[in-house]
Amino acid sequence: MKLLRVGPSGAERPAALDAAGQLVELTGVVDDITGAVLSGAELDRVRTAVDGGALPTIDPDGLRVGAPLARPGKIICIGLNYRDHAAETGAMLPTEPVMFMKAPDTVVGPYDDVLVPRGSTKTDWEVELAVVIGRTARYLESEDDAMACVGGYAVVNDVSEREFQLERQGQWDKGKNCETFNPLGPWLVTADEVPDPQNLGLRLWVNGEKKQDGTTKDMAFGVAELVRYLSRFLVLYPGDVINTGTPAGVALGQSEPKPYLRAGDVVELEIDGLGHARQRLVAA
């Protein structure tokens, strides 16, 4: 299923796309799209309601699409997880996943504006596959067990400010947690509709010029291994999100002068089967 949330910021309501691609209302079926909805009886109830064809339709014209997940938990990000991206930045490919965190309040809708931070000169883009956890995961032993804990997938732009991240000392977090730096969606696609998350194309454009064109086949650590690995260090709960890394083509990896984002730029991004997003850059 393709689950989403529509309406004004802070007042989104749950919805889905039915088999015909119509937007249908889920209010009354579930309170909202949360991690708890992604497994067990609630997901079955949603699927039955959507497949039944009796849900009221919603006119999408002029309707804002919010982030498809309400109240995300932890946002765990994986750095340097594509071979070509590590190479373009001059970094060694890690022997274990590189992990950092984003705060949940960085999450915005897929078509919302992204704020260029005050004082920023190096705001960058990163198209990524987001993995949404649907079942609690701790100390997992096998990749099969790990995949059973995946509730769904979404498109995410792991926006980064490279000066803050790399030149201002400390950890990467200060360049990753600026306001609006995690646009998510448009849809949360349930895991059953993505049989092979390691066979998805990812693309990103800036002002109509293609900058990234990669595939999840190039991940150093795949989805199953990431979930298994992370469960050894922290408990993953329903609604936690893993940003799994980006392919080559970011501004950081290009020749001087590097084409970092400025107010007025437009970023578009997509992943096979997971939808298309568009964000305009504005000054904070």
Going by pLDDT thresholds of 50, 70 and 90, the confidence category of residue 92 is: confident
Same domain membership, residue 54 and residue 165: no
- Region 130-155: mean pLDDT is 98
Same domain membership, residue 22 and residue 80: no
Same domain membership, residue 55 and residue 89: no
Question: In 3D, which of 184, 179, 148 has the Cα closest to residue 275?
Answer: 184
Same domain membership, residue 215 and residue 250: yes
Same domain membership, residue 195 and residue 128: yes
pLDDT attached to residue 86: 83
- Region 262-278: mean pLDDT is 98
| Per-residue tokens: 35 | 């991690």
Question: In 3D, which of 157, 85, 76, 171 has the Cα closest to residue 114?
Answer: 157
Euclidean distance between CA atoms 128 and 271, whole angstroms: 8
Does the structure show a pLDDT above 90 at 261?
yes
Same domain membership, residue 25 and residue 123: no
Same domain membership, residue 160 and residue 145: yes
Structural domains in the chain (count): 2
Q: How many CB atoms lie within 10 A of CB 69?
A: 29
Cα–Cα–Cα angle for 122, 242, 95, rounded to 5 degrees: 80
Distances (CA, A) of 32 to 5, 12, 25, 104, 129: 8, 8, 11, 17, 22
Question: Of 64, 89, 111, which residue sits at a domain end?
Answer: 64
Same domain membership, residue 15 and residue 75: no
pLDDT attached to residue 91: 79
Cα–Cα–Cα angle for 10, 15, 19, rounded to 5 degrees: 160
Q: Which domain holds residue 8?
A: 2-64
Going by pLDDT thresholds of 50, 70 and 90, the confidence category of residue 12 is: very high
E strand map for 178-284: 182-183, 188-190, 201-206, 209-215, 241-243, 266-271, 275-283
Sequence-ordered alpha helix ranges (H) in the chain: 41-52, 83-88, 143-148, 162, 223-230
Same domain membership, residue 172 and residue 239: yes
Same domain membership, residue 60 and residue 75: no
Euclidean distance between CA atoms 156 and 127, whole angstroms: 6
Mean pLDDT of the chain: 96
pLDDT tens per residue across span 143-198? 999 999 999 999 999 999 999 999 998 888 999 999 999 999 999 999 999 999 99
Same domain membership, residue 136 and residue 56: no
Same domain membership, residue 57 and residue 101: no
Question: Of 47, 64, 81, which residue sits at a domain end?
Answer: 64
Question: Of 12, 42, 64, which residue sits at a domain end?
Answer: 64
pTM of the model: 0.97
CATH code for position 156? 3.90.850.10
pLDDT tens per residue across span 225-243? 999 999 999 999 999 999 9
